[in-house]
Amino acid sequence: MRTLTLNNGVEIPQIGFGTAAIRDWQIDDSYVTDTILKAMAVGYRHFDTASVYGNERALGRAIKQSGIDRHELFIVSKVWDTEQGSETTAAFERSLERLELEYLDMYLVHWPVPAYTRETWQAMEALYDDKKIRALGLSNFRKSDIEQLATFAQVRPTYNQLEIHPYFSQKELVAYCQFHEMAVGCWSPLGTGGWSDVKTEEKPVTDPAVREIAEKHGVNAGQVILMWDIQQGRIVIPKSETMEHIAGNFDLFGFELSDDDLQTIDGLNRDRRLGGDPDTVHEQNLQVKVPD
């Protein structure tokens, strides 16, 4: 299994399994648990959830039912906008309770809310010092948000999870994070899932250039995009619900993209977000409740 070593020495599997909107948004049932168990059977050990996904209990059930030793798993959750600031510690404890775990491998600030960042981060640092979290990280943080954090953080962030795909590569922000020894994770690495209103023909997996590279290597377009990230040192957390795609997204062996392939995919960037924009999404996020 490919792993990266974070700046605090913790190892993270480079291929994770995303759990947002399995079957649908904020669903927490046996279908979600069974989907996660399929991923575990394939070999995934890194699972990415969040309080707002509303399915932490389903992941907790899968962990229990799998029989996999807890130390073999890398479990990530996130604190939502409405839980930041003085609510952060309680929100973390609720996530831990829903997951039925004693600690998290990583806890992320889901979206930047600059007015609350100091209080949120300091609460997370206390949990880190108490060994309740093995690594602290960020999600969707811009350069300005990271600079703000740097003025008071006692514990350095290890990770920034961003929307990254061939149509939105965020090269400047990725380079900034990597220069400051923060691992970069890619959410919706294939260009958003079925939960979104993005048409299939507008997603990078259908791009003719990607398909041509896939045909050359005898793999599918999704595998090409994930390998584009992997070979450039990024973490990927694709989500799928069919065994074919769950297995295909994990089976990134037996081929390697050439420098020309990487440059071709780099050249597809359109600066086109398919998900939320941290400049504007906060007001909308405040309307989204975290389920009990």
| pLDDT tens sequence across 127-137 | 999 999 999 99
36-85 confidence digits (pLDDT tens): 999 999 999 999 999 999 999 999 999 999 999 999 999 999 999 999 99
Please determine, for residue 182, whether its predicted confidence score (pLDDT) is greater than 90: yes
Average pLDDT, the chain: 96
Domains of the chain, each with CATH number or no CATH: 3-199+233-253 (3.20.20.100)
**Which has the closest alpha carbon to 187: 210, 160, 149, 211?**
160
Distance from C-alpha of 215 to C-alpha of 213, rounded to nearest angstrom: 5
Distance from C-alpha of 253 to C-alpha of 270, rounded to nearest angstrom: 29
Angle (CA) 220-222-228 rounded to 5° is 110
> Which region, left, alpha or beta, applies to residue 148 given φ > 0 means left and ψ of -120 to 50 means alpha?
alpha
The pLDDT-based confidence of 1 (bands split at 50, 70, 90) is confident
The pLDDT-based confidence of 199 (bands split at 50, 70, 90) is confident
Instruction: Average the pLDDT over 195-221 and give the result.
Output: 88
Please determine, for residue 194, whether its predicted confidence score (pLDDT) is greater than 90: no
Catalytic residues: 53
Q: Which residues are annotated as a binding site?
A: 110
Residue 129 sits at φ, ψ, to 5 deg, of -65, -30
The pLDDT-based confidence of 193 (bands split at 50, 70, 90) is low
210-259 confidence digits (pLDDT tens): 999 999 999 999 999 999 999 999 999 999 999 999 999 999 989 999 99
83-105 confidence digits (pLDDT tens): 999 999 999 999 999 999 999 99
Distance from C-alpha of 63 to C-alpha of 49, rounded to nearest angstrom: 13
10 near 46, Cβ under 8 Å? no
Q: Which residues are annotated as a binding site for substrate?
A: 110
Please determine, for residue 122, whether its predicted confidence score (pLDDT) is greater than 90: yes
pLDDT score, position 240: 94
